[in-house]
Structure formats: structure tokens, C-alpha cells
Amino acid sequence: MDENEISSVVVDAAIEVRRGLGGPGLLESADEEALAFELKDRGLAGLILAGGMGSRFGVPKAGALLPDGRTFLEACTATLHASGADPVVATLPPGFDEPEIDGLVAVPLREEGLDMFASLRIGLQRLVGEAGWNRVALLPVDHPFVRPATIAALAACGAPAAVPSYRGKHGHPVVIDRPTAEAVVSGVIPGPTLREVLREVGAADVVVDDPGAIANCNTTEALQRALQFCR
């Protein structure tokens, strides 16, 4: 999927919003909620992987702050909501104060030291009990600069799994369909990493014009670089 096709995904949704509102012209800020609703109607859920203790960052990255005062977790939640994801679930470190973020379901992990795939399975287990979604965006919390349009494009791909690619580099989030998510939870696809899952189901590459997809803010130095790179 190229840049024009990505734009088409969002523009098509915007057109549906404009038709529903009965007016011509470009999408205005007042229409943003309607656009999110139109994207939401396409059956996307969100899972934020935020269960790490943040040893390299110095604090759990779920609570790390951006210059605008938001936490990484708040930024990721807002991005998923803007892409139409609902429900949105986040795995969190043991003992982490449950955040008061509208539209976010917190799933505290019971023990420290779980790897990313274990956290992924716990989060997916919470989601598979929910009806109404057919794809889920898996967003690591240390990728707070991903654009909603990227997630919408991945969700529209149609493959069992989709991975963003920016300038030849794979990034995040990954979007998988519900059968793949259920297979991970049941152990039919055992992993032991997300990479093996993607290989098993034949993930598609989706080319995106979004540096945030490869901006892994896993240290304070990486965050400073991303702030320059993602402007």
C-alpha cells in the first residue's frame, strides 16, 4: 500500500462523514469526532503494550512524559482512538497506578519480567472476550508518535497481519486480524515472539509516510531524537 492508497483510506472515511453531515467541502475540526466514528465502524480494536518496567528509560514508559505534558500512554491511547479503535486495552506493569484515561481498559500484569509476547497474550486474552472487532492494532507504548492514518491504512490492508514500512524499515504498530489474535491466545500459534506469528500468517508490508512508525522511544536519548525526526 503506497502513500496515495493510505490517503485514500482516510479520505474515503472523511467523504462518508461529509455525506452523513450533508455538507460539501473539506473535513473541518468539528467533524473529527464523526470521522473517528466512521473509522470505528470498520471494526478495529487497540492493544497498547506497556507492561515493561522501563529499566532503560528510567521509569515505566507508560508514565513517561512528552513535552506537551501527556504521558506516552495517553498519547498512544489518543492515537488509537483517532484511528477509530474501540475497545482500547493496555497491559501495565505490576503496581502501576491505574490511569484515569477515558476509553482505556487497564490490564495490570501480575508479575514483573514478563516478555513482550507474554504481555501480548494477556492483552489479547482480555480483548477476545469483546465482540464487535475484527482487527487489532498492537502498539508498543514507546511509539507515541505514530499517526492515526498509519493505523487506518494497516487496518484496511486485508491481510491476516500488516506491518508498516517507512523508508525500508519495519516499524509499529502491527495489525492482526481476529482469527490470528484468537490463535495466539489459544496457543495454536505459539510464538514465542510476534515475529514468528507474523511469519506464520504471512504478514503484508504496508509502506507508510510516517517516521513515527520507526521512532522507538525506549530511552530518553531516543525520545530526543524522535522529537526532531517526527516534526
CATH number at residue 94: 3.90.550.10
Contact 157, 175 (CB under 8 A): yes
Q: What is the pLDDT of residues 191-218, one digit of tens each?
A: 999 999 999 999 999 999 999 999 999 9
| 143 is a domain residue | yes
Q: How confident is the model at residue 229 (pLDDT cuts 50, 70, 90)?
A: confident
Number of domains in the chain: 1
HSE at residue 70, side-chain half, CA atoms within 13 A, is: 13
DSSP 214: G
Q: What average pLDDT score do residues 49-78 get? A: 92
| 94 is a domain residue | yes
Q: What average pLDDT score do residues 214-227 get? A: 94
Query: What are the C-alpha distances in Å from 89 to residues 97, 169, 187, 215, 225?
Result: 15, 27, 20, 22, 28
Residues 6+ apart with CB under 8 A from 74: 99, 101
- The yes-or-no verdict on residue 37 having pLDDT over 60 is no
**Rounded to whole angstroms, how far apart are CA atoms 145 and 154?**
16
What is the domain extent for residue 201? 43-229
Contact 53, 93 (CB under 8 A): yes
Q: What is the pLDDT of residues 146-158, one digit of tens each?
A: 999 999 999 998 8
| 25 is a domain residue | no
| 47 is a domain residue | yes
Length, in residues, of the chain:
231
| 83 is a domain residue | yes
| 3 is a domain residue | no
- The yes-or-no verdict on residue 167 having pLDDT over 90 is yes
| 20 is a domain residue | no
